[in-house]
């Protein structure tokens, strides 16, 4: 199945469908209509049908979509059906929240190493991990077969950590710091800025209150 036409915004929605479908499946649901799926995700049924048609999933009129088939297909498209081995850099509150985020473990995202440069944290145990010095990162990456590096350090250190990860051979990054990283070609990054949903919410509040000037 060649899927080069799926735009990024659809990938984002597929990630939402994925969580929703897994919950439905775990709750014993076997069929779902585009109307119900849309209701769960605040999308129009026509949008749901269009999104799912990107990869050839078509519901049966009057019955709906097969939940298991849809779930397995979306898992395969998103790549969450295979295990991903990740290192986490930054063992502060954000890093620890990521370590504890159950949804990640459920989807095959496994943190296999946690690193920090704070001598007070190095050697400490958290959530089954020993926090290691970033000086050990290169050796660790070479020995352990790491796919993804997760950057959860303060903004001023984020570029340095990204450079270090790339120099160790990590080509895929999740960046939780609100800065734009400079990266060589071939390195993929997904930025997570926790402030974005707050700004989208206040946009919606103003819109709903018609407080525009």
Q: By CB under 8 A, name the binding residues for a copy of itself.
A: 1-4, 6, 8-9, 11-12, 14-16, 18-20, 40, 76-80, 84, 92-94, 96-98, 100-104, 107, 109, 147-148, 155, 172, 174, 178, 180, 188-208, 211-213
In the block, residue with structure tokens 């898992």: 75
Backbone dihedral angles phi then psi of residue 166, each to the nearest 5 degrees: -65, -40
- Smallest distance from a copy of itself to CB 62, Å: 25
Q: Which lies closer to a copy of itself via its Cβ, residue 60 or residue 202? A: 202
CB of 21 vs a copy of itself, minimal distance in Å = 12
* DSSP letter string, 136-156: GHHHHHHHHT--EEEE-S-HH
Complex with a copy of itself: residue 60 or 97, whichever CB lies closer = 97
Q: Which is nearer to a copy of itself, 62 or 185 (CB)?
A: 185
CB 75 to a copy of itself: min, Å: 10
- Nearest distance from residue 61's CB to a copy of itself, in Å? 26
Q: With b meaning 16 or more CB within 10 Å and e meaning fewer, what string describes 29-40?
A: eeebbbebbbeb
Region of 210 on the Ramachandran plot (φ > 0 left; ψ -120 to 50 alpha; else beta):
left
Number of H helices, E strands in the chain: 9, 9
Q: Least distance to a copy of itself from the beta carbon of 122, Å? A: 18
Instruction: Using alpha carbons, select from 145, 134, 90 the residue that is nearest to residue 112.
Output: 145
Q: Which is nearer to a copy of itself, 24 or 164 (CB)?
A: 24
Q: Please say which residue, 2 or 61, places its beta carbon nearer to a copy of itself.
A: 2
Is the CB of 53 or the CB of 63 nearer to a copy of itself?
A: 53
Three-state SS at 6? coil
Task: Judge whether 81 and 109 are in contact, CB under 8 Å.
Answer: no
Name the minimum Å distance from CB 149 to a copy of itself.
Answer: 11
Long-range contacts of 50-54 (CB under 8 A, 24+ apart): 51/10, 51/13, 51/14, 51/17, 52/17, 54/3, 54/5, 54/6, 54/10
């Amino acid at each position: 199945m060649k899927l080069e036409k799926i735009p990024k915004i659809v990938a984002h929605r597929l990630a939402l469908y994925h969580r929703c479908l897994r919950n439905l499946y775990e709750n014993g649901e076997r069929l779902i209509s585009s109307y119900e799926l849309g209701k769960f995700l605040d999308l129009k049924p026509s949008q749901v049908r269009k999104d799912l048609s990107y990869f050839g999933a078509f519901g049966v009129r009057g019955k709906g979509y097969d939940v298991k088939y849809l779930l397995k297909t979306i898992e395969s498209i998103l790549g969450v059906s295979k295990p991903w081995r990740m290192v986490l850099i930054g063992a502060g509150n954000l890093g620890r929240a990521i370590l504890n985020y159950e949804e990640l473990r459920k989807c095959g995202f496994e943190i296999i190493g946690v690193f920090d440069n704070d001598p007070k944290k190095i050697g400490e145990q958290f959530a089954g991990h020993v926090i290691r010095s970033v000086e050990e990162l290169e050796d660790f990456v070479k020995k352990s077969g790491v796919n993804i590096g997760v950057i959860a350090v303060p903004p001023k250190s984020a570029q340095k950590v990204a450079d270090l990860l790339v120099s160790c051979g990590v080509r895929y990054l999740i960046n939780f710091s609100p800065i734009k990283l400079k990266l060589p070609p071939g390195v993929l990054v997904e930025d997570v800025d926790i402030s974005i949903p707050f700004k989208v919410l206040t946009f919606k509040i103003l819109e709903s209150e018609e407080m525009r000037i």
